[in-house]
Structure 1
Amino acid sequence: MLMPCGGSASTTADTMVRLVAKLRDWEPLDWDATFDALASVLDCQAPLDDELEELAQRLRGALMQIVTIAVAGLVDEDKEAAVLIARARTLRSVELPGNYWMALGHLRRLGWVTSELVELLSKTGHLKDAA
């Protein structure tokens, strides 16, 4: 059995078990739901107060997957992508504010960074389903 430099059979097996578990849990990005959330958040008609938490969860989940794609494909070669990734990670880590208008502002920032990353990844050919 071939092993990476400095690795043991148990380390390699543990890594493979973790990888298989992640692959089993993986779900493809739901573009329709993502674009619906973006439309709700970025539209001139603001979403209702009771929709904010669900929209935040949907955008955070989509943004996590989009950032993973960006990191895998662009972070080393594109400074714009690195800035967007850093902004996305910061925004994802912030809790939704309790005040409606502050929460809406936060959601719109999440929406804009998501939209900008999708546009950049589509332009560079890293996303084809989003077009």
Structure 2
Amino acid sequence: MTALSTVQRPSVPQWTPPLSGEELVHVLVKLQTWQAFDADALLDDVATALDDVPPSEEEAEEMAQRLRGHLMRLVNIAIAAGAESQLVHRFSSFRTVDMGELMRELPWAA
């Protein structure tokens, strides 16, 4: 019979959480308010914007806000994926564009 030898285990540092409680609450709030990108809604809004029949001014303003939201989600997805390019930076500047004015410049206004 052989004697059992004592195995020395390496010391392991005590685990510390990567985020504080306050930071975890912030992450939780972000997760709870997160909305997935809806490509179908984007395509519906683009189709409406490019339709031959112009929407009413109120509808155009609402659609402009939705299109801005779609565009901002796409920009955020591109940046998160590491696809930062000149085009992404150009689109990110749409946060300050008057979307109502942009909507008036669409094809039906010609």
Q: Considering the TM-score relative to the shorter chain, is it more than 0.5?
A: yes
1:63 alignment counterpart: 71
State the one-letter code of the partner of 1:94.
Answer: V
State the one-letter code of the partner of 1:93.
Answer: T
Superposed, 1:1-131 pairs within 5 Å as: 1-3=15-17, 12-76=20-84, 82-97=85-100, 103-105=103-105, 108=106
Percent of residue pairs identical: 35
Query: Which structure dedicates a bigger proportion of its chain to helix?
Result: 1
How many Å separate the matches in 2 of 1:55 and 1:44?
15
Larger Rg: 2
How many Å separate the matches in 2 of 1:66 and 1:57?
14
Which runs of at least 4 in structure 1 moved beyond 6 Å after TM superposition?
Answer: none
Q: Say whether the 8 Å CA contact 2:64–2:103 is kept in structure 1.
A: no
Provide TM-score, normalisation by structure 2.
0.66
Per-residue deviation, 1:103: 3.8
1:70-121 Cα shifts (integer Å, max 9, x gaps)? 0011335xxxxx2222121112222335x6xx5422xx5xxxxxxxxxxxxx
Q: Say whether the 8 Å CA contact 2:45–2:67 is kept in structure 1.
A: yes
**What RMSD, in angstroms, separates the aligned Cα atoms of the two structures?**
2.4
Per-residue deviation, 1:3: 5.0
List alignment gaps of at least 5 residues for structure 2: 1-14
How many Å separate the matches in 1 of 2:83 and 2:46?
24
Q: Say whether the 8 Å CA contact 1:41–1:104 is kept in structure 2.
A: no
Q: Say whether the 8 Å CA contact 2:60–2:103 is kept in structure 1.
A: yes
1:27-72 Cα shifts (integer Å, max 9, x gaps)? 1122222111111223444333231111111111111211111001
Provide TM-score, normalisation by structure 1.
0.57
How many Å separate the matches in 1 of 2:51 and 2:59?
14
State the one-letter code of the partner of 1:85.
Answer: V
1:125 alignment counterpart: none
List alignment gaps of at least 5 residues for structure 1: 5-10, 77-81, 109-131
